[in-house]
Homo-oligomer: A and B are copies of this chain.
C-alpha cells in the first residue's frame, strides 16, 4: 500500500516554500535533481543526516508534494515530482535548484 501524496490541485505554494526553507531538504532535492530519472533510496542521502533525521525530512517533502515516495518491498524510492510541480508552478523548481547549486554547503554537488 502506498504512502499518501497530495494531488496536483492540492499543491500549495506557501507549504512548498516553507518545506524547502531548510538546508537539509534543499540538499535532498539537489541530490534528486542530479539524475531525475533514477529514484533514490533513503540510503542515497545518508551524508545529509542520520536515517531518523532523513525520514523526517523526506516525509515533509512528500507531504508538501515536492517528492514522491514509492514503497518497493522493504525499501522506499524517492523522486522529485517534476511534472506535477512544473505544471502547477512553472519554473519554480528549476529556479530553486539553480539557487541551491550556488550554496557553499552544496558545492560538492556542482562537481558532477
Mark A residues whose CB is within 8 Å of B.
13-23, 26, 88-92, 94-96, 98-100, 102-103
**Quick one: closest B residue to A15, CB to CB?**
B21
Q: How far is the CB of A105 from chain B (nearest CB, A)?
A: 9
Q: How far is the CB of A111 from chain B (nearest CB, A)?
A: 19
Contact A95 B91 (CB under 8 A): yes
Contact A99 B92 (CB under 8 A): yes
Extra A-B contacts (12), CB below 8 Å, given A13-B102, A92-B95: A13-B26, A14-B21, A14-B26, A17-B20, A17-B21, A17-B96, A18-B21, A21-B21, A89-B102, A91-B95, A91-B98, A95-B96
What are 10 A-B contacts defined by CB distance under 8 Å? A14-B22, A16-B21, A17-B26, A17-B96, A21-B21, A88-B99, A89-B102, A91-B91, A92-B99, A95-B96
